[in-house]
């Protein structure tokens, strides 16, 4: 769902137990002067969905660069990072790519420098 959707509460009424927030607008804004506002909009959408009893997943264009900040939104249950992880694995190897994503997810940090791969 879009973060600016007016139908977040409606998803619960229709029987959904989770939604996935479509994060491409956040990814596109990341690193610009619009990033903070985009993240705030996603945080509000997540809180709105959680308030009505929906679990929140997120995905689309999340990667090593922007994932850590996005995961500062509380109680996001799952992030879809498969495409970015596989793309990174082609450059740094699967083990190193998984370790880099785990580091970002577990520590909420920026990705490790390329020298640490």
Which domains does the chain carry?
Answer: 8-116 (3.20.20.70)
Q: Edge-to-edge strand order for the sheet containing 76-80?
A: 18-22, 55-59, 76-80
Contacts 24+ apart (CB under 8 A), 91-100: 92/117, 93/117, 100/64
Dump pLDDT digits (tens) for 19-46. Answer: 999 999 999 999 999 999 999 999 999 9
Average pLDDT of span 84-97: 96
Total-model pTM = 0.85
Q: Which residue has the tokens 């994060």?
A: 23
């Amino acid at each position: 769902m879009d973060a600016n959707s007016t139908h977040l509460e409606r998803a619960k009424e229709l029987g959904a137990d989770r939604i996935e927030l479509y994060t491409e607008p956040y990814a596109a804004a990341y690193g610009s002067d619009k990033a903070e506002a985009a993240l705030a909009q996603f945080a509000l959408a997540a809180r709105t969905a959680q308030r009505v009893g929906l679990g929140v997943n997120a995905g689309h264009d999340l990667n090593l660069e922007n994932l850590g900040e996005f995961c500062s939104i509380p109680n996001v249950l799952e992030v879809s990072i498969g495409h970015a992880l596989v793309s990174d694995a082609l450059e740094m190897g699967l083990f190193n790519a998984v370790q880099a994503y785990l580091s970002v997810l577990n520590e909420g940090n920026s990705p490790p420098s390329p020298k640490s791969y």
